Amino acid sequence: MKILITGSNGFLGSNLVRFFSAKREYEVHETSQHHSYFPELSNFIMGDLLDAAFVDSLFLAIKPDLVINTVSLANVDLCEENPKLAYELTVRTAKNVAQAAKRHGSRLIYISTDHLFEGNKSMYSEIEMPAPVNVYGKMKVEAELISREIHSNTVIVRTNFFGWSHSHHTQTFGEWLYSCLNKKIPINLYTDYYFTPIEVTYLAEAIETLATSDFTGIINITGSQRCSKYEFGITMSEVFGLDPSGIHSSKIEISTFKAKRQKDLSLSTEKFRKIFGRNLPDLKESLQRFYNTKPIEKHK
């Protein structure tokens, strides 16, 4: 199977490149605006997904069976400050990729988010009507819609993930939290902000399951367990054997984010369990995988 991964220098994109490149049954191609960080793993073509002509030529050259589109402006506050940029990087890129995927007969998996709802309930299912509270969520909803409207052979993956990033990537939430615990740096974590995080290699495995199925539509791929950011930190300290005394409780309602945040991002994974016959990992399972896969340099 020929797989094209967009946004391959990003956190998720780079993890997907490494995951699929490790398996013989896949021929992995990647694209990004900048040079590849893993030239030895895959076939890399540099370019801008805002350029529809480039996107079409990319698909023509590769003829991918599957494209996994990870591209968007993921900085929630920057989206609020610059909605035009958010639209360009999230919606226009999704439109160009979906059009090329349809034109060239490629299956499409679009990576969405859990920032789609008001956050006044828990464990949102795939049939819930989106009601985003910030620009980031609105752009992701629009990108979902345009991808599915253009190309029928599309899967929308709604998710929230953590894990280890490559050495050139900015520190992610999980890495930041581990670093603070390891260095005994005091931190504040929200007790009133809930999510259902999944470790990124578990997410990659679930995406592979989708890639080799005939499923189309929307599906949640997150951890099966809802937790607060505070609970996430305490559980990480237990799994890593680190002192949790530096973790202090805080409230998101007193935060000073530029973009509004909903208090509950949690998603239900019941649909995935029913269709594919297995449970997605709970919090401790994901954190144990995070512990087991930590790179040597991350100990420092």
- Whole-number pLDDT of residue 170: 85
- Whole-number pLDDT of residue 295: 83
Does this model's pTM top 0.85? My answer is yes
Q: Which helix (H) or strand (E) holds 11?
A: helix 11-21
- Domain 173-196+225-266+282-299, CATH number (from 3.40.190.10, 3.40.640.10, 3.40.50.720, 3.90.25.10): 3.90.25.10
Give the DSSP letter of residue 58. Answer: H
Q: Per the structure block, which two tokens stand in for 61? A: 């050259």
- Residues in Cβ contact with 165 at an 8 Å cutoff, skipping those fewer than 6 apart: 11, 14, 15, 171, 172, 175
- Whole-number pLDDT of residue 184: 96
Taking the CA atoms of 134, 139, 140 and 142 in sequence, report the sign of the dihedral they define.
positive
- Whole-number pLDDT of residue 296: 61
Q: How many CB atoms lie within 10 A of CB 203?
A: 28
The β-bridge partners of 107 are 66
Assess whether the region 2-162+197-220 and the region 173-196+225-266+282-299 belong to the same CATH fold: no
Is residue 145 exposed (0-12), middle (13-18) or buried (19+ Cβ within 10 Å)? middle
Q: Can you give the residue ranges of every domain in the chain?
A: 2-162+197-220, 173-196+225-266+282-299
In order along its 300 residues, the chain shows pLDDT tens digits of 999 999 999 999 999 999 999 999 999 999 999 877 777 777 999 999 999 999 999 999 999 999 999 999 999 999 999 999 999 999 999 999 999 999 999 999 999 999 999 999 999 999 999 999 999 999 999 999 999 999 999 999 999 999 998 877 888 999 999 999 999 999 999 999 999 999 999 999 999 999 999 999 999 999 999 999 999 999 999 999 999 999 999 999 878 889 999 999 999 999 999 999 999 999 999 999 999 998 865 544
Q: Which helix (H) or strand (E) holds 2?
A: strand 2-6
First to last CA, the chain: 38
Q: How many CB atoms lie within 10 A of CB 9?
A: 21
Residue with tokens 């997605």: 280
- Whole-number pLDDT of residue 37: 77
* Domain 2-162+197-220 indexed as CATH 3.40.190.10: no
Phi-psi region for residue 105, left (φ > 0), alpha (ψ -120 to 50) or beta? left
